[in-house]
Structure 1
Amino acid sequence: MARRAMCLLPQWSSRVFSVELDGAPFYFSIQERHRGEEVPRVFSEVQNNDRCYSLLVCGSDRIRRAKFYAELREKLLRDLPPECDVSPMLSFLPNVKDSLVKGYFLKGSSSSSERLLRDLVRHDPVLVCSYLRKDGGQMWTQHLWPHADNQTMDMSKEYYVVPSEAPEHHPSTLNIINSDVFYSFEDAYEVIKKCGDIIPEATSVMELLPSRAEARSKPDFPVIVIEGLDATGKTTLTESLRDSLGATLLRSPPQCMSPLRARFDQEPPLIRRAFYALGNYITAEQVGQEGMKAPVIVDRFWHSTAAYAIATAVSGPVCNLPAEGSEVYRWPSDLFQPSLVVLLTLDPEERKRRLRDRGQGKTEEEQELDHNQLFRLKVEEAYRRIAGPACVTVDASPSADQVLQQVRLLIRGKCHL
């Protein structure tokens, strides 16, 4: 823990903190003198007898840090008194890439909570701060706790907590690249490789990977990717296109990864996203082989992997997403680009009806789409902003045959099939 915490401290007073309340981030910063600023909203509703603490996960190994962050939430919810609120928290330097540190904010905690935190700071990679009420609640101060590995640090300093403007870009965007979304085979491969000693199934993933990660020459035949949320008609359309075009149908993630998906879906985003990113490269290897013999239809590809990851990482409304043209939406340089990407869209109520009719089990993210309209809007907008190639949107509400004919026209115009 010591090395990463040491990196944070020289710029500690420049850092901004955000606490997520009701799905939206609220920001505060710290300063050495109080100049009459209002109490940040995070603290304004704290009851007189309540205490507040923050925990930032600071381990130097990002694989173990990601796993510890996920496990810490379960530990806090299990071991803290029920009246203690646990909210996601971030600390970052505005507009500085890779400066983001994740953690949790505790409100309404008690003396038993403090014992738990003291045990954590003794043994685990966390930086703990307490927040104390002053002047009848008109001011709050932040105090860093000493850590067993950092006895030489001066932790006695007191900072005043003050409101902070929302940053130009949502803080999560600082760490999206090669953390939530991977832009090369090597970056995703390195994450799964380092998981070998803590996730036995990582070895099985490695055995499935193509031997070479270079961007291959374009297949002789066109490659058409069909994207969209569940129940928009992707399966029906992809199978109809396969039959009508005499094409090969592939899926991403590929079938060979299916036995491993349930295991990696339990992992924190860093590991889970690396797993799905590698699935695109396995599918790309299959496309390279099959595309020499016939046209290829792909049921989901990199657009899905990136869109879901971006929408999950960025909390709050759609306007918090990285701006159109951001490097977050760029296509990986070592992944082949399809000839055409079709995004099927559907009225939310019609999509829910179709899902009910299917009655199939859904992933956690698909369940989130069902009851969180905001998440669905962010996924769809992220789809639209990904470039290289961009998606062509098709309304999937008409009959399956009408949708097929519309997509066939697109393919004829773009791919001359």
Structure 2
Amino acid sequence: MAFVPLPGVFILRFLERMRPSQVSAVRRQATSMCQSDRGRDRFFVLELPDFGLAHFTLCGDCGDSAHRIASTRRDTRLETFLLAPGRSYSLYVPIAPGSGYGGRIRAARLHQHLLKQLSREPFQKCQLRRLLSYSPDSPPGSTEKGFVLWDPQDCLKIQKALEGLLAACKAPRPHLGMFEADHSGQIWQSLWELPGGVGDEGRKLVGKLRVVSTEEPPLHPSVPDLQGSVVFPNLEEAREVIVQCTSSIPEAQEVLNLVDKCPKNAQKGKFPVIVIEGLDATGKTTVTQRIAEALNAVFLKSPPPCVIQWRKIFDNEPAIIRRAYYSLGNYIMASEIAKESMQGPVIIDRYWHSTAAYAIATEISGFPHYLPPAHHLVYQWPKDLLKPDIVLLLTVNPEERIHRIQERGMNKTKEETELETNKLFREKVEISYQRMENPACHIVDANPDREEVIQTVLSVIKKYCTSL
């Protein structure tokens, strides 16, 4: 089920049946938690219908100056979103503190499981929006992913099904958030634990806090998590993720065996190493093969053949596992490049840049301007990965891409479908490619006739690879 731009309002019937003294007690408890735990406040990022991002936090009736300042801030987009008709729910998957890659992998799998379940009955008429929870004081890797689920029919069946889904999860379970507006128009979130039951008898009210708009942080909250979660800065980081998967994915050990046979910090030979990158349907593979023939070079394609047999398995895993698999494939590829570049030129169909560009574009929600800024570390080539002499990026306009995809008469890959239907995603991939450094991409217009593109590519290669 795609993330559809439809909002809703959170209504909590159970609170309406509580006595005023009970509600007051809950609020006093929430206020106490807010005042004593201020250093670990959580902030939230919600992707809005227009793909902008709304930032907010939760607080009780705190009297401190920070919360008084925050309480004066308003985001009418957020208010409109939360106060539209319907019934909505929020949930995000917690990451156990100090659990390292093991905890992050468990959270990623639970998030993927929930996403699949929420695309089935009885949730098919509901819509989802992306929700992130983070703390500025927490180390990288602690951002928690979740959803806002909107039920346009305000159906009790949906609430019970959602409670049952969360109650069936292993600890630490996601909390179920419900929002409501009070008589003054203030929006409150009631947070529930689901120890294992469904209905009033199976849930526990954790607290009720006020929704307060906050300033947009300098960087998208996912940016600090990119390195070490989807764009790995070195071999060991990616390897550790796959090590954590050996008990659940038998093929993970096979990948590790191949990686461990490769020399560390493989070095390029005396002949040029040329990488050709590009979105699907830019003519990349055909151009790469023709250039290899023209230069009498060895043609390599990423991921390498020795791991491509497990591609479907890892493509069905959460992003942290899938990207670690592709990252290790690059290091295995580096070993092959080192060997072949001793004998002659090497032409490669995709390498590290594509691994990083797609990962960044997928993880960063919202508009392209939320991407990491130019010169950020996430765009830098890993220091322990064999570096090519030149990287060329083939680009075509969207209309030409669609025409070429249709001409293929082939089933679209998941990425092709996303690129075709999601303009923002395509823009984010292209911008990420263009911000890569050390080495940067030489952009080649691939709209003209194929022969003209090939001649342009050859000209650029010979300009920068003088040994040819």
If the length of structure 2 is used for normalisation, what is the TM-score?
A: 0.79
Match of 2:175 in 1: 128
* Residue type at the aligned position of 2:149: L
Distance 1:358 1:227 in 2: 19
Evaluate the alpha carbon distance shift between residue 223 and residue 127 of structure 1 in structure 2; reply closer, same or farther with a 3 A threshold.
same
Evaluate the alpha carbon distance shift between residue 402 and residue 83 of structure 1 in structure 2; reply closer, same or farther with a 3 A threshold.
closer
Match of 1:15 in 2: 42
Aligned counterpart in structure 1 of residue 94 of structure 2, from 58, 64, 73 = 58
Evaluate the alpha carbon distance shift between residue 45 and residue 222 of structure 1 in structure 2; reply closer, same or farther with a 3 A threshold.
closer
**Percent identical residues:** 41
Deviation at 1:349, TM superposition (A): 1.2
Structure 1: gaps spanning 5 or more residues: 1-5
Distance 2:127 2:423 in 1: 25
Q: After TM superposition, list the pairs within 5 Å mapping 1:331-342 onto structure 2.
A: 331-342=381-392
The reply on whether 1:308 has 2:358 as its aligned counterpart is yes
Match of 1:28 in 2: 56
Deviation at 1:379, TM superposition (A): 0.7
* Residue type at the aligned position of 1:27: H
Evaluate the alpha carbon distance shift between residue 274 and residue 197 of structure 1 in structure 2; reply closer, same or farther with a 3 A threshold.
same
**Equivalent pair of 2:300/2:346 in contact (CA under 8 Å):** yes
Match of 1:3 in 2: none
The superposition leaves residues 277-313 of structure 1 with CA deviations (integer Å, 9 ceiling, x where unpaired) of 1111111110011010011011110000000111111
Count matched residues: 406
Match of 2:266 in 1: 216
The superposition leaves residues 30-64 of structure 1 with CA deviations (integer Å, 9 ceiling, x where unpaired) of 22238466576445345688444322211432222
The reply on whether 1:106 has 2:149 as its aligned counterpart is yes
**Secondary structure class of the residue paired with 2:439:** coil
Evaluate the alpha carbon distance shift between residue 83 and residue 292 of structure 1 in structure 2; reply closer, same or farther with a 3 A threshold.
closer
**Secondary structure class of the residue paired with 1:77:** coil
Distance 1:72 1:247 in 2: 47
Distance 2:86 2:394 in 1: 49
Evaluate the alpha carbon distance shift between residue 272 and residue 156 of structure 1 in structure 2; reply closer, same or farther with a 3 A threshold.
closer
Deviation at 1:333, TM superposition (A): 1.1
The reply on whether 1:69 has 2:128 as its aligned counterpart is no
Distance 1:81 1:136 in 2: 30
Evaluate the alpha carbon distance shift between residue 385 and residue 39 of structure 1 in structure 2; reply closer, same or farther with a 3 A threshold.
closer
Evaluate the alpha carbon distance shift between residue 13 and residue 222 of structure 1 in structure 2; reply closer, same or farther with a 3 A threshold.
closer
**Secondary structure class of the residue paired with 2:412:** coil
Match of 1:78 in 2: 120
Deviation at 1:122, TM superposition (A): 7.0
* Residue type at the aligned position of 1:16: F
Deviation at 1:165, TM superposition (A): 2.6
Match of 1:298 in 2: 348
Measured on the aligned residues, the alpha-carbon RMSD in Å equals: 2.7
* Residue type at the aligned position of 1:126: R
Q: After TM superposition, list the pairs within 5 Å mapping 1:116-195 onto structure 2.
A: 116-119=161-164, 120-121=166-167, 123-124=169-170, 125-136=172-183, 138-146=185-193, 148=195, 156-195=206-245
**Equivalent pair of 1:170/1:320 in contact (CA under 8 Å):** yes
Deviation at 1:13, TM superposition (A): 6.6
After TM superposition, the structure 1 stretch with the greater mean CA deviation from structure 2, 298-307 or 34-43, is 34-43
If the length of structure 1 is used for normalisation, what is the TM-score?
A: 0.88
Distance 2:383 2:54 in 1: 36
**Secondary structure class of the residue paired with 1:241:** helix
Deviation at 1:336, TM superposition (A): 1.1
Evaluate the alpha carbon distance shift between residue 255 and residue 375 of structure 1 in structure 2; reply closer, same or farther with a 3 A threshold.
same
Match of 2:26 in 1: none
Distance 2:125 2:449 in 1: 52
Evaluate the alpha carbon distance shift between residue 53 and residue 221 of structure 1 in structure 2; reply closer, same or farther with a 3 A threshold.
same
Evaluate the alpha carbon distance shift between residue 126 and residue 293 of structure 1 in structure 2; reply closer, same or farther with a 3 A threshold.
same
Evaluate the alpha carbon distance shift between residue 340 and residue 38 of structure 1 in structure 2; reply closer, same or farther with a 3 A threshold.
closer
After TM superposition, the structure 1 stretch with the greater mean CA deviation from structure 2, 27-36 or 65-74, is 27-36
**Secondary structure class of the residue paired with 2:107:** helix
Evaluate the alpha carbon distance shift between residue 394 and residue 36 of structure 1 in structure 2; reply closer, same or farther with a 3 A threshold.
closer
The superposition leaves residues 54-85 of structure 1 with CA deviations (integer Å, 9 ceiling, x where unpaired) of 22211432222111110012223335555544
**Secondary structure class of the residue paired with 1:126:** coil
Deviation at 1:142, TM superposition (A): 2.1
Distance 1:130 1:338 in 2: 49
Evaluate the alpha carbon distance shift between residue 143 and residue 392 of structure 1 in structure 2; reply closer, same or farther with a 3 A threshold.
same
Distance 2:357 2:244 in 1: 25
Deviation at 1:235, TM superposition (A): 2.0
**Secondary structure class of the residue paired with 1:209:** helix
Match of 2:287 in 1: 237
Evaluate the alpha carbon distance shift between residue 173 and residue 39 of structure 1 in structure 2; reply closer, same or farther with a 3 A threshold.
closer
Aligned counterpart in structure 2 of residue 365 of structure 1, from 391, 398, 415 = 415
After TM superposition, the structure 1 stretch with the greater mean CA deviation from structure 2, 226-235 or 321-330, is 226-235
* Residue type at the aligned position of 1:144: L
* Residue type at the aligned position of 2:370: N
Distance 1:264 1:307 in 2: 18
Distance 2:74 2:52 in 1: 20
Distance 2:76 2:293 in 1: 60
